[in-house]
């Protein structure tokens, strides 16, 4: 057996640190470090993990690298370890209660039901996780109480939303999503005993903590941002750096968003004239996209049929822009998820037990715009996240860390880049769908403004809602869901446009330097062939490639 190099050993250690922070991380499913585990949200456990992560980052900084590829791995180890430490240091668990993905109930009722155990060991591990739910929720409740004592208060409206979700969950024992995890029949009785005897009573206790202790002391909607909490401005600046992997300040990001929105006005007017005739201005185009009921879905079946057709069209065209593509196609799944965005992608499990899946949120489908559907499918599926994350999993020659690392600016930046790439490839079905592309651009630019507005400049919730209403085409239900997401997941929304702008910049630079020798397929294979990277490291990888061509 070959002895791993110091950097390779550190990369494996980093996987363990990431798994300890969140064993339900989608990208980690199938990793042995996560079997049977839930995160430990207690102060003692998170403080110890934070110190462990910082020590790992320091060791990575000092580790010798044998070649350029090891230099990349070393940089990823250091960035990932510090990101864990920074997220834990922000103490978001103390006041995050309702987010569909980032809260305790989001992890347990959103992520845990998506687990697909493979084999008896993983099935037993799933039962162990169910048994651990009461302790997890009790520790989360203690962290919420600590937040109350120290002035890190949740937003009262978000607490009420969490209580409403738990009330709906507790009112439907037969429909408990945790029963949907596929287990062999011999485990069904124990699963049901755990769910009925331990899990659901624990959720009821947690629900009463939220309702009785947190809701009466929650912040008003006039003060939803981190800047209203102790050390909040510092924590937000740190989270902005974590999610963008850049040194741009919140004010710089805010200003970039405003500038980008201004640039989009001419495109709206030009493509809007093609779609609707006449000479509408940008505001008129957005207003029509938002209010014209003829541009909404008739229902969930139409929504899912359109997504299926769009993904198939993109899969057929992808070889024109990529030399390497995923071995398995993207799977489509539609379901109602209250409070969640219109769609999202869940990567395949490393062990193959779950395929890469595009999830379309069919909740209140008739209130959602179909104009956004194609751009969303290109972002989440092909040529977006499905291509990106599936290709990363196929890079068996790289350390496991680089196949699973979740670096938002790279991952979401690629997804947004894919929306414009689809336009270059002629994949949009017409001007209306291309207006959807502009609408998604507006959303990601507006996110820079709104996220920083809430958490750095102290905006009220309704101020954020009004800004999204004025500058995007989102339906009212989506505007409010988006705003609530930014409130409870500060900084994450900054990653999309920051990453796309950087990928576009690197592509332009490489094309200028290589001239006729520039090959777009080779460029895409390079960007996707190194695994998930911080943006400064991606810059170095592309620069080395152009120098060697």
Q: What is the pLDDT of residues 77-113, one digit of tens each?
A: 999 999 999 999 999 999 999 998 899 999 999 999 9
Find the angle CA(10)-CA(12)-CA(13) to the nearest 5 degrees: 60
Angle between the N-to-C axes of helices 156-170 and 476-488, in degrees from 0 to 180, rounded to the nearest 10:
110
Residue 327 DSSP code: S
Give the residue-averaged pLDDT of 257-278. Answer: 96
What span, in angstroms and rounded, lies between the C-alpha atoms of 311 and 303? Answer: 13
Q: 382 with 314: CB under 8 angstroms?
A: yes
Find the angle CA(43)-CA(48)-CA(51) to the nearest 5 degrees: 125
Higher pLDDT, 32 or 324: 324
Residue 335 confidence (pLDDT) above 90 = no
Average model confidence (pLDDT) for the chain? 95
Does some domain include residue 200? Answer: no
Report the domain count for the chain.
1
In which band, very low, low, confident or very high, does the pLDDT at 171 lie, cut at 50, 70 and 90? very high
Does some domain include residue 86? Answer: no
Residue 239 confidence (pLDDT) above 80 = yes
Find the angle CA(486)-CA(365)-CA(260) to the nearest 5 degrees: 40
Does some domain include residue 142? Answer: no
Q: What is the pLDDT of residues 172-219, one digit of tens each?
A: 999 999 999 999 999 999 999 999 999 999 999 999 999 999 999 999
User: Domain residues for 261?
Assistant: 240-501
Does some domain include residue 365? Answer: yes
Does some domain include residue 517? Answer: no
In which band, very low, low, confident or very high, does the pLDDT at 329 lie, cut at 50, 70 and 90? very high
User: Per this entry, what is the length of the chain?
Assistant: 549
Closest of 380, 376, 383, 374 to residue 321, by C-alpha: 383
pTM of the shown model: 0.93
Tell me the residue ranges of DSSP E strands in 14-141: none
Give the residue-averaged pLDDT of 304-326. Answer: 97
Q: What is the pLDDT of residues 506-523, one digit of tens each?
A: 999 999 999 999 999 999
In which band, very low, low, confident or very high, does the pLDDT at 1 lie, cut at 50, 70 and 90? low
Question: What does the pLDDT read at residue 114?
Answer: 86
**Structure token digits, residue 114:** 């998506």
**In this structure, are strands 343-346 and 357-361 parallel, antiparallel, or unpaired?**
antiparallel
Does some domain include residue 442? Answer: yes
Residue 129 confidence (pLDDT) above 80 = yes
**Which residue is associated with the tokens 């741009």?**
248
Does some domain include residue 55? Answer: no
In which band, very low, low, confident or very high, does the pLDDT at 2 lie, cut at 50, 70 and 90? low
Q: 93 with 154: CB under 8 angstroms?
A: no
Q: What is the pLDDT of residues 432-488, one digit of tens each?
A: 999 999 999 999 999 999 999 999 999 999 999 999 999 999 888 889 999 999 999
Give the residue-averaged pLDDT of 237-253. Answer: 97
What span, in angstroms and rounded, lies between the C-alpha atoms of 35 and 24? Answer: 9
Find the angle CA(372)-CA(377)-CA(379) to the nearest 5 degrees: 95
Closest of 467, 484, 212, 200 to residue 338, by C-alpha: 484
Contacts with 252 (C-beta within 8 Å, 6 or more apart), sequence order: none
Least confident of 21-30, 423-432, 442-451, 530-539: 21-30
Does some domain include residue 24? Answer: no
**Which residue is associated with the tokens 């902005």?**
240
């Amino acid at each position: 057996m070959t002895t791993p190099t110091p950097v390779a050993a550190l990369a494996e250690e980093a996987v363990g640190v990431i798994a300890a922070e969140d064993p339900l991380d989608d990208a980690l499913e199938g990793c042995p470090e996560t079997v049977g585990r839930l995160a430990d949200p207690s102060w003692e456990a998170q403080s110890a993990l934070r110190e462990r992560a910082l020590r790992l980052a320091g060791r990575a900084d000092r580790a010798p690298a044998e070649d350029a590829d090891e230099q990349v791995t070393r940089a990823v180890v250091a960035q990932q370890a510090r990101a864990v430490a920074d997220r834990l240091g922000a103490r978001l668990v103390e006041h995050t209660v309702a987010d569909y993905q980032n809260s305790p109930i989001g992890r347990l009722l959103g992520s845990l039901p998506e687990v697909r155990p493979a084999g008896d060991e993983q099935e037993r591990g799933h039962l162990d996780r169910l048994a651990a739910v009461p302790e997890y929720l009790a520790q989360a409740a203690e962290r919420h109480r600590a937040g109350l004592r120290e002035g890190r208060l949740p937003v009262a409206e978000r607490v009420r939303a969490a209580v409403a979700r738990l009330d709906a969950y507790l009112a439907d024992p037969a429909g408990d999503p945790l029963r949907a995890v596929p287990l062999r029949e011999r485990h069904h009785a124990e699963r049901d005993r755990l769910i009925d005897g331990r899990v659901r009573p624990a959720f009821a206790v947690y629900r009463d903590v939220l309702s009785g202790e947190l809701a009466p002391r929650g912040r008003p909607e006039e003060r939803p941002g981190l800047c209203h909490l102790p050390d909040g401005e510092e924590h937000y600046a740190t989270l902005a750096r974590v999610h963008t992997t850049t040194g741009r300040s919140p004010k710089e990001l805010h200003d970039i968003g405003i500038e980008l929105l201004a640039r989009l006005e001419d495109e709206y007017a030009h493509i809007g004239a093609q779609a609707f005739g006449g000479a509408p201005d940008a505001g008129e185009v957005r207003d029509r996209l938002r209010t014209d009921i003829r541009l909404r879905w008739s229902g969930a079946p139409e929504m899912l049929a359109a997504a299926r057709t769009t993904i198939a069209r993109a899969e057929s065209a992808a070889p024109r822009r990529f030399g390497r593509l995923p071995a398995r196609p993207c799977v489509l799944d539609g379901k109602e998820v209250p409070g969640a965005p219109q769609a999202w992608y869940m990567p395949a499990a490393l062990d193959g037990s779950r395929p890469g899946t595009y999830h379309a949120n069919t909740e209140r489908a008739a209130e959602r715009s179909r104009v956004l559907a194609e751009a969303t499918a290109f972002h989440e599926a092909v040529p977006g996240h499905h291509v990106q994350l599936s290709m990363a999993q196929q890079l068996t020659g790289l350390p496991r860390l680089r196949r699973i690392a979740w670096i938002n600016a790279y991952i979401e930046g690629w997804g947004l880049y894919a929306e414009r790439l689809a336009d270059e490839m002629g994949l949009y079905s017409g001007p209306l769908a291309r207006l959807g592309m502009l609408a998604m651009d507006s959303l990601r630019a507006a996110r820079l403004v709104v996220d920083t507005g809430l958490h750095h400049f102290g905006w009220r919730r309704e101020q954020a809602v009004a800004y999204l209403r004025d500058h995007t085409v989102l339906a009212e239900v989506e505007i409010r869901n988006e705003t609530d997401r930014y409130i409870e997941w500060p900084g994450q929304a900054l990653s999309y446009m920051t990453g796309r702008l950087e990928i576009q910049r690197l592509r332009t630079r490489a094309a200028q330097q290589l001239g006729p020798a520039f090959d777009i397929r080779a460029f895409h294979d390079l960007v996707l062939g190194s695994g998930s990277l911080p943006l400064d490291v991606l810059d170095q990888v592309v620069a080395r490639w152009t120098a060697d061509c």
